[in-house]
A and B are shown apart, each in its own frame.
Chain A
Amino acid sequence: DIQMTQSPSSLSASVGDRVTITCRASQTISHYLTWYQQKPGRAPKVLIFAASSRQSGVPSRFTGSGSGTEFTLTISSLQPEDFATYYCQQSFSTPRAFGQGTKVEVK
């Protein structure tokens, strides 16, 4: 099974900051990588799919990059509504594992 590892597990940031989250796969997954955002009490929401394609309606400040085993999610200028937990998920093979999450908190 493919394992997904995110770093950091949490970070503190201010509005306007640039934030980068990393996700590593235990073996190559090409570009079969999706990023989700989750707020408390809500289901996850798709931000980025195919490693770098923005889902419809997602603001352009969210950018995904990478392929193979290493991926990043960048928020170029953090907004108040972006404080949330972010998860990566691989869809290269089953089981389609998620990372353990990165919580973005207010500094």
Chain B
Amino acid sequence: QVQLVQSGPEVKKPGASVKVSCKASGYTLSDYGLTWVRQAPGQGPEWMGWITAYNTDTNYAQRFQGRVTMTTDTSTNTAYMELRSLRSDDTAVYYCTRNSGPYYISDYWGQGTLVTVSS
């Protein structure tokens, strides 16, 4: 069955970087698009960006441009999201999601990774 398993919680200081991993099983990662979504405490989900199927392209939300990099490793079927220059308002749960079909629905989600930014 399809599963996305993410790396564990992280605590970082302001200005640092974090790299979250998302290991896919039950399907080939590069056959589908993969989106990263974050959710700050008590807030709704926020779309950060995605990698298109077959790793042909990345598309990031403007507010993260220059600070985020999304990649995949086809040899391990794992995706990564790196966020740099962390601020306290980057504290959130970060999710990877598989995108399916012509409507790009996020049909499978990772369990989420809590990233806490605190001095």
**Which residues of A are interface residues toward B (Cβ below 8 A)?**
1, 32, 34, 36, 43-46, 49-50, 55, 87, 89, 91, 94-101
Contact = CB atoms under 8 A, between A and B. Distances in A.
B109 A95 contact: no
B95 A43 contact: yes
A99 B45 CA distance: 8
A98 B47 contact: yes
B66 interface: no
Q: Output the residue of B35, B44, B109 with the most chain A CB within 10 A.
A: B44
Contacts of B16: none
Nearest to A88: B44
Interface of B: 35, 44-47, 49-50, 59, 61-62, 95, 97, 101, 103-107, 109-112
A10 B61 CA distance: 27
Nearest to A91: B104
A46 B59 contact: no
Contact of B61 (A46, A55, A95): A95
20 contacts: A1-B62, A34-B106, A43-B95, A43-B97, A43-B111, A43-B112, A44-B45, A44-B109, A49-B103, A49-B105, A87-B45, A91-B104, A94-B49, A95-B61, A95-B62, A96-B50, A98-B46, A98-B47, A100-B44, A101-B44
Nearest to B109: A43
